[in-house]
């Protein structure tokens, strides 16, 4: 009888523990990512999510998007290092309830100092980072945009468009970053991939190479004097995709409102 009671008590205890664990898991799932970060308080917080196809990195120094675009601390020696496809890892520094720093890593997942929230849905991760970009008043805003762009299946260009239209109400760094990636999404659209900022078409045609150089020259004219011609190239159905893509790139660096109008028309069409 005593053995039976003890076994019953053990079973009851296990059931309570199991239910408590289940309740804690359900509660965490019900919380938004913003709530979970806020609950940690000041310090560092880490989380990761699935990256877009074409994103790889070494997990520490650099991230590569597409075939040849490197981001982060890059040097020639990294060209010989493996670029591993893997999740995007975000590390936030929080001070006085505000995110003051955003660090982004790609490829091999690594243990980092601070609270680790684990894997989160990519779309939720992107939305949270875009919130930081919209509300932040520091360099964290621009860095947050980069992380959001890398999130798999996330459609972020409408939020980027809203940011560049808000003009001076946004931090300069965040607006510049939003403008750059908006140009990349628009460029992807002319390749038939409107939600792919890494789409490109590197032509080996010598004539295209010369035309891309001409586009570069236009981009370097002072006081935005070359913007009108860049817009013509970007809109031209006769120009090759690689030349048009180059024009989109430099328009993204210009900050000109006419470029924003072009990006919007391309993406919304």
Mean pLDDT of 95-104: 93
What is the model's pLDDT at position 193?
86
User: At a CB cut-off of 8 Å and minimum separation 6, what does 38 contact?
Assistant: 97
Contact 94, 42 (CB under 8 A): yes
> Tokens 């009851």 appear where?
12
Report pLDDT for 204. 60
161 has a pLDDT exceeding 90: yes
pLDDT at 14: 46
Give the closest residue to 96 by CA, choosing from 25, 38, 50. Answer: 38
Angstrom distance (rounded) from CA 11 to CA 25: 21
More confident position, 243 or 5: 243
Q: What is the CA radius of gyration of the chain?
A: 23
More confident residue, 179 or 21: 179
3-class SS of residue 237: coil
HSE-up of 18 (CA within 13 Å, CB side)? 6
Report, as an integer, the average pLDDT of 41-49.
96
């Amino acid at each position: 009888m005593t053995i039976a009671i003890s076994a019953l008590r053990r079973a009851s205890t296990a059931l309570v523990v199991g239910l408590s664990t289940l309740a804690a898991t359900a509660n965490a799932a019900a919380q938004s990512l913003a709530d979970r970060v806020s609950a940690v308080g000041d310090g560092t917080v880490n989380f990761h999510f699935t990256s877009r196809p074409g994103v790889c990195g070494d997990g520490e120094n650099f991230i590569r998007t597409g075939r040849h675009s490197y981001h982060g601390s890059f040097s020639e020696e990294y060209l010989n290092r493996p670029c591993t496809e893997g999740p995007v890892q975000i590390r936030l520094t929080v001070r006085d309830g505000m995110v003051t720093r955003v660090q982004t890593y790609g490829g091999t997942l690594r243990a980092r100092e601070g609270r680790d929230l684990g894997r989160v849905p990519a779309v939720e991760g992107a939305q949270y980072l875009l919130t930081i970009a919209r509300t932040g008043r520091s360099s964290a805003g621009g860095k947050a945009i980069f992380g959001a762009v890398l999130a798999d299946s996330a459609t972020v260009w409408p939020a980027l468009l809203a940011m560049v239209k808000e003009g001076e109400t946004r931090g300069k760094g965040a607006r510049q970053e939003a403008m750059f990636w908006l140009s990349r999404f628009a460029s992807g659209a002319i390749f038939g991939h409107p939600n792919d900022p890494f789409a490109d078409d590197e032509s080996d045609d010598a004539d295209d190479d010369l035309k891309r150089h001409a586009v570069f020259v236009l981009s370097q004219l002072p006081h935005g004097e070359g913007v009108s011609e860049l817009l013509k190239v970007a809109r031209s159905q006769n120009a090759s995709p690689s030349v048009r893509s180059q024009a989109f790139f430099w328009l993204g660096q210009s900050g000109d409102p006419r470029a924003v109008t072009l990006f919007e028309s391309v993406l919304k069409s």
